[in-house]
Amino acid sequence: MTTAKYYYESHVTIEPIEDLEKLNMVKTVSGMFGFRVADLFMLKNRQETPERSNRDTFMTGHGKDLDDITDRTINLVRAIQQLGITVWRYKVEDTLFDSRNEDIYGLL
């Protein structure tokens, strides 16, 4: 078991969801795995094409245990795909420092 000093943060990026009913489904499924869907679109610096918007919907989850956050990320991606939604990206990051925990540079 690998435990983070602070926390791991996982992001799953999907096609933009504008339909409120579909968005609520995504929020429900995400919540089942401890993720929260952002209440905004991420505007990307890429040319919009018929295949890919220049906006993304994304969700974020946190955890202290790497195996746990990895499993929840994998299961969330699979569940989102079963809804017929395109998943563009998933990742897990290790937080090295966070001013919410400690302002190590005295900036705040």
Instruction: Please provide the DSSP assignment of 42-108 as one string.
Output: EEPSS---SS--SEEEEEEEEEEEHHHHHHHHHHHHHHHHHTTPPEEEEEEEE-S--TTT--TT---
CATH class of the 3-94 domain in this structure: alpha beta
Residues (pLDDT < 50) of the chain are: 43, 46
The whole-number pLDDT of residue 52 equals 52
The whole-number pLDDT of residue 16 equals 85
The whole-number pLDDT of residue 81 equals 97
> Is 9 within 8 Å of 101 (Cβ atoms)?
no
Q: Where are the domains of the chain?
A: 3-94
Angle (CA) 36 70 75, round 5°: 65
The whole-number pLDDT of residue 28 equals 97
Q: What does DSSP say about strands 35-37 and 3-14: parallel, antiparallel, or unpaired? A: unpaired
To the nearest 10°, report the CA torsion of 33, 34, 39, 44.
-70
